[in-house]
Amino acid sequence: MLNLYTALAADQVLFNSAYNRQTFLEGVRQLLKKLPDFVPGNILDLLQEKSSVLPVPLPDDVFLKEKHNSRDVLQIVFNHRWEYDKGPERMFNALKALDSRGVPFKIHVVGQAFRQVPPVYAEMRKVLSKNIGYWGFINSVEEYRLLLRTSDVVLSTAIHDFQGIAVLEAVAAGCVPVVPDRLAYPELFAGHLRYPSLESEPEKEAKALASHLEKIARKKEQGERLIAPDVSGLGWSALRPFYQQWVIKVANG
């Protein structure tokens, strides 16, 4: 309801992804059906008319001009908040499956942890101890960016994500995205970079993810260069003119 009031009060409404805009409007539609009488009939039309999509820009200093893959095992980074909506159980199950197939890898779990940490993190650190690299929040921005630049893959198992800034920052630094075929990811990355989304069947999804990671690991073993997609269009230099345009437009009424 607060989001609805905010959007109605605004002159223009910008969403950071088409997925965010779509789910918001659908949520409003469902909410209005549950409200009592005297709901204005043009709310959805009004919101659709004044809403657009403009991504949150990436800092220019996250972009890496050139990257060389290291000769060691596949380096995977999971750089998300340590919360349930990032699907840590799915990650753990997929990595266990990958390990059981004899695929060597290193996993760097470097997201921010809060007071309530899902127990799966402690279990994963114990079970996959030989595969663990960095663990926990990295305070140094320079050290964090270096990790991204020296990793091969950035992994997402999220079940809630409106743009995927952490993934995009890693891709800008040269990581290949391994993301589910859901949320905002279909509008960001080509199909070969997404693994099947089986949200109601997490065990099957974990196996599909393990297979996806195994293919990438084998490519690296064979000396094939792993190339991240170009996301320069989401950098601040590229998006600044659009932000300027919107600010001027709203300021001019």
Domain boundaries, the chain: 2-53, 60-221
Give helix 202-221 / helix 88-100 axis angle, nearest 10°. 50
CATH of 60-221, one of 3.30.420.40, 3.40.50.2000, 2.60.40.10, 3.40.640.10: 3.40.50.2000
pLDDT along the chain (253 residues), means of 10: 92 96 94 81 91 96 75 94 95 98 97 90 97 96 93 96 96 97 97 96 96 97 93 97 94 88
* Amino acid (one-letter) located at 107: I
Amino acid 68: pLDDT? 62
Alpha-carbon torsion (227, 159, 47, 249), positive or negative: negative
Amino acid 67: pLDDT? 63
Threshold 0.85, pTM exceeds: yes
Amino acid 126: pLDDT? 97
pLDDT digits (tens, 9 = 90+) for 129-178: 999 999 999 999 999 999 999 999 999 999 999 999 999 999 999 999 99
Strand partners, 197: none
Query: For the residues of the chain, what is the DSSP string, one character each?
Result: -HHHHHHHH-SSEEESSHHHHHHHHHHHHHHHHHS-S---TTHHHHHHHTEEE-PPPBPGGG--S-----SSSEEEEE-S-SSGGG-HHHHHHHHHHHHHTT--EEEEE-PPP-SS--THHHHHHHHTGGGEEEES----HHHHHHHHHH-SEEE---SS-SS-HHHHHHHHTTPEEEEESSTTHHHHS-GGGEE---TT-HHHHHHHHHHHHHHHHHHHHTTPPP-PPP-GGGBHHHHHHHHHHHHHHHHT-
